Amino acid sequence: MTEAATSVLPLWLEIIVAVLVLSGAALALLGSTGLLRLPTFFERVHAPAIIATLGCWLIMHGTVLYFSVADRSLALHALLIAVFVAITVPIMSIFLMRAALFRARQMGLNVPPSLSQPKAPSETEDS
């Protein structure tokens, strides 16, 4: 066995790590229940995007703290995962939302108009 596997962490550190990891897991569970409970796609897309990122960061902090103290060196491997999640989740959510808005407009549903296309002449105000 390695020294890190046999070392015992102080109780206060174990409590902090446990609180961080369990808080992150609870937030991830809360975000997943948002997928089940919210009625429309446009409402459902926010819960996992925001909550999953925050839950990932809490778990990452607990992981970095635990492995840094247990191995007696700065363990930043979990930070790379959290940065990847923090970058990809919002981008993925934007793409999914834009695709859903495009499809909803094509089907004639009542959604906000596109901001990238100019307004019709009758909709513009005279200055």
- Report whether 78 contacts 64 (CB < 8 A): yes
Query: Along the 127 residues of the chain, how does pLDDT read in single tens digits?
Result: 455 455 688 999 999 999 999 999 999 888 888 888 888 888 888 877 888 888 989 999 999 999 999 888 888 888 898 899 889 988 998 899 889 988 988 888 888 777 777 666 665 555 5
CA distances 59 to 24, 29, 90, 111, Å, are 5, 13, 18, 36
CB 24 within 8 A of CB 51: no
Tokens of 24: 């992150």
Query: Which single residue is written with the structure tokens 């890190």?
Result: 4
Task: Report how far apart, in Å, the C-alpha atoms of 29 and of each of 26, 32, 73, 88 are.
Answer: 5, 5, 31, 20
